[in-house]
Amino acid sequence: MERTIRVTGKGKITVKPDTIRLRLSMEGIYPEYDETLQKSSEIVELLKDLVEKQGYERKELKTLYFNIDTEYESYQAKDKSWKRRFQGYKYVHRMKIEFPADNQRLGKMLYALAHCPVSPEFSIEYTVSDPEASKNELLGKAVKDSLKKASVLVEASDVKLGKIINIDYSWGEIDFVSKPLQEMSLRCCEPDESYSASYDMDIEPDDIDITDTVTVVWALED
141 domain-assigned: no
Q: How confident is the model at residue 27 (pLDDT cuts 50, 70, 90)?
A: very high
173 located within any domain: no
Whether 45 is in a domain gets the answer yes
CATH of the domain at 56: 3.30.70.2970
CB proximity list for 56: less than 8 A, separation 6 or greater: 97, 99
Assess if residue 30 is contained within a domain: yes
- CB distance 213 to 158 below 8 Å: no
Confirm whether 192 is domain-assigned: yes
Half-sphere exposure of 33 (CA within 13 A, CB side): 4
Distance CA 93, CA 212 (A): 33
Least confident of 90-99, 130-139, 184-193: 184-193
For 141-165, write each residue's pLDDT tens digit: 999 999 999 999 999 988 999 999 9
184 is a domain residue: yes
Residue pair 216/147 in contact by the 8 Å Cβ criterion: yes
The whole-chain average pLDDT of the chain stands at 88
Q: Are 199 and 103 in contact (CB under 8 A)?
A: no
Residue 67 · residue 166 · CB < 8 Å: no
Report the C-alpha dihedral over residues 175, 181, 186, 191, rounded to 10 degrees: -110
CA-based nearest residue to 118, from 93, 145, 150: 93
Indicate the DSSP class of residue 59. Answer: G
**CB of 131 closer than 8 Å to CB of 210:** no
Q: Evaluate whether residue 10 is within a structural domain.
A: no
Is 220 within a domain? no
Pairing of the two strands 19-30 and 82-100: antiparallel
* Confidence (pLDDT) at 67: 97
**Structural domain total, the chain:** 1
The residues with which 47 forms a beta bridge, in sequence order, are: none
**Are the C-beta atoms of 43 and 93 separated by less than 8 Å?**
yes
Mean pLDDT of the 45-61 span: 94
pTM here is: 0.76
For residue 5, the model assigns a pLDDT of 92
- pLDDT of 183 higher than 60: no
With pLDDT > 90 as the criterion, what percentage of the chain qualifies?
Answer: 64
Query: Quick check: 146 and 216 in contact, CB under 8 A?
Result: yes
Give the range of the structural domain holding residue 122, as residue numbers without chain letter.
17-71+85-128+179-206
